[in-house]
Chain A
Amino acid sequence: MKILKREFKRRIDVHASVVWWNYWDIEHFTTVHKAYTNVKMLFENENMYIVALTWRLPIFSFFKSSGICTTIKTGKYKLEDYQSTFFNIAVKTEIEIEEIGEMSSLIISRYQFFLHGWRRILAPFMYKMMAVWNQKVWDEDLPLKIRRQRVKEFGFKDFKGLPDKLEDRESIKKWEQSLPVPRPKNSPINEYL
């Protein structure tokens, strides 16, 4: 058995809670990320979620894969994600968000692919594919995080919008993101719940 490891570090000038929100906001998966074609929630609480996912592979986008993904909060801004990808390859992902100053974050993504038997030959492909995947997802999420940071600095509240009075449009005081990220009961994501 071969364990293929890859690590990516990226910095962004937004509060760690904004980055955190992005990881736990399931509803944007299929609308923002071209790779995800279907996502349904199976279970969630304040520390974890389990979803049924369908996604397209980077590079070979005609290849679709489906599986169950379990994401667990392991620290204030830390999570671990477990899923099986195509050819039943088990994947563990660790995400760590470090707060750099007040409004800047360092995101460390660590991937591990457990390649059994003949799957070992896929290692060079998986190595390249993860860089493409990570870059693609980063590029698609970047404008969301920057914009959300901006509106939060003007007092934006989820489901309410900006304050009515101009003098109240000041940065929010509480930056923490509570979990699970709220979602309407009739959201299509909830179909399996």
Chain B
Amino acid sequence: MKSFFLCSLKDLKKQKTMTKWAGPFKDELTVIFKDGAITVFSSICPHFGGEFNIDLKNLKASCCWHGYEFDLSSGKCLSFSNCSPLRFYPFLINHGDIEVFFP
């Protein structure tokens, strides 16, 4: 199973959200930290491939290109039912580093 160092937990706690291109996964990953919980997901909008604005307060991601909204708890597209949901990635915290795995 391929793993990828995304960021340190210390940095994430400070920044709350971080986005990074994950070369080995051929994907762009975003990690969010809210109320002690960490979520890692692909931040390539399944609609046309756009990037997201993250609304941590309401746990939503909205595409900068077309405004499609996604629920960050379920991954579901809130704007249109025929769009695939966001892809979540499993991760481990290893010595303070967030390591993401390709499922």
Interface residues of A (CB under 8 A from B): 25, 27-28, 31-32, 144, 147-148, 151-152, 154, 156, 158-162, 166, 169, 184, 186-187
Contacts and interface: CB of A to CB of B under 8 A. Distances in A.
Given A28-B65, A31-B65, A166-B26, A158 B80 contact: no
A50 B49 CA distance: 25
Contact of A162 (B26, B48, B67): B26
B25 A147 contact: no
B55 interface: no
Given A159-B83, A184-B80, A144 B65 contact: yes
B51 A159 contact: no
B63 to A, nearest CB: 8
A81 to B, nearest CB: 21
B27 interface: yes
B82 A154 contact: no
14 contacts: A32-B65, A147-B49, A147-B51, A152-B49, A156-B49, A159-B46, A159-B47, A159-B83, A161-B46, A162-B26, A166-B102, A184-B80, A184-B82, A186-B80
Contacts of B42: 161-162
Interface of B: 2, 25-27, 42, 44-51, 64-67, 79-80, 82-84, 87, 102
Contact of B48 (A148, A154, A166, A169): A148
Contacts of A169: 26-27
B62 to A, nearest CB: 9
Given A31-B64, A147-B51, A162 B44 contact: yes
A186 B68 CA distance: 12
A31 B46 contact: no
Contacts of A184: 79-80, 82-83
